[in-house]
Amino acid sequence: MRWTFRETTDRVIVDADWEAAEGMTSVDVEEVFATYGPVADAFRRFDVYCTGRHGSGFEANQLLNSVQVSVRDPFWGVFAGVARVWAGVQLDRPSLSTIPSSDVFGGLPVNMPTSLQIGADHWVVYASPPVDFRGWSARLVLTPAALDFVVGFEPDDGSAVTLTVPCFGGFVEPDGSQNIPARDDSIPDFAEPGQLDEPCVWIPPEPGDVTIRARIIYRVRYVVSGFVEEQPPYEWESDPLTVRVDELRAVNTRPGS
């Protein structure tokens, strides 16, 4: 005698269309996940047959019952293979830009608030290529969840310091600007440290050298044929931008210049 398990449906489990993930808004992403639900609800049903030959020679193929096999069952290997799915994650590093531009000023002027930004093309939802596990399609979906900047400043006269400049702690829908966040025109041209407390803004306090890295914290979800499970957040940093901080020596105030 032997057991035979036969899946009860010919329906193919189809994952959501993540090919256009970079065009999705945070609302789109949440609607996809709400359609399927949590991984705990994911299973496939099998009919269980007892098959074999009786002593009289009679062939038996008896349906006994049906069972649900959770996606967490080791038989599928979906959760034992998370590392395989991570291997397909290829994030581009965000590009960091500053205003005022170091190309224009030759550096960052002392007491001139600097808006810290990244290129908007890196503030997108990312879906890794799918990996198949016996009919389940698994992938990782990373959604930008927070942005801050790590600033390492070495003054000409004093001790080096490292500080974190917070920017925002949630997904911000791109507004068509080239940079995230968009330039805030309400920020004054000059302010001394302690006079201005705005997100995404750093005020160079004195001459020295500064190295800035953008840090994106992603919300990570493991998606198995549309069903989702939260994973630990993932941090991703830009390449460092190193510029000089110095006194502003001259300003051209001629109209049109």
**243 near 100, Cβ under 8 Å?**
no
109 located within any domain: yes
pLDDT for the residue numbered 257: 55
Tell me the percentage of the chain whose pLDDT exceeds 90: 42
Q: Answer whether residue 256 is part of any domain.
A: no
Which residue stretches of the chain are H helix? 26-36, 82-86, 102-105
**For residue 153, is it within any domain?**
yes
Exposure letters 167-185 (e unless 16+ CB within 10 A, then b): beeebbebeeeebbbeeee
pLDDT in tens, 157-181: 989 999 999 998 877 777 778 888 8
The span from the CA of 246 to the CA of 227, in Å, is 53
Residue 66: give the domain boundaries: 2-246
Residue-wise DSSP of 28-77 = HHHHHHHHH-BGGG-EEEEEEEEEEE-TTS-EEEEEEEEEEEETTSTTT-
Question: What's the structural domain count of the chain?
Answer: 1
- If one counts every other C-beta atom within 10 angstroms of the C-beta of residue 122, the result is 19
Q: Is residue 255 part of a domain?
A: no
pLDDT of amino acid 217 = 96
In a domain, 233, yes or no: yes
Residue range 214-248, pLDDT digits in tens: 999 999 999 998 899 999 999 999 999 898 998 87
Q: Is the pLDDT of residue 199 over 60?
A: yes
pLDDT class of 253 with cuts at 50, 70, 90: low
Indicate whether 6 pLDDT > 60.
Answer: yes
User: Is residue 252's pLDDT more than 70?
Assistant: no
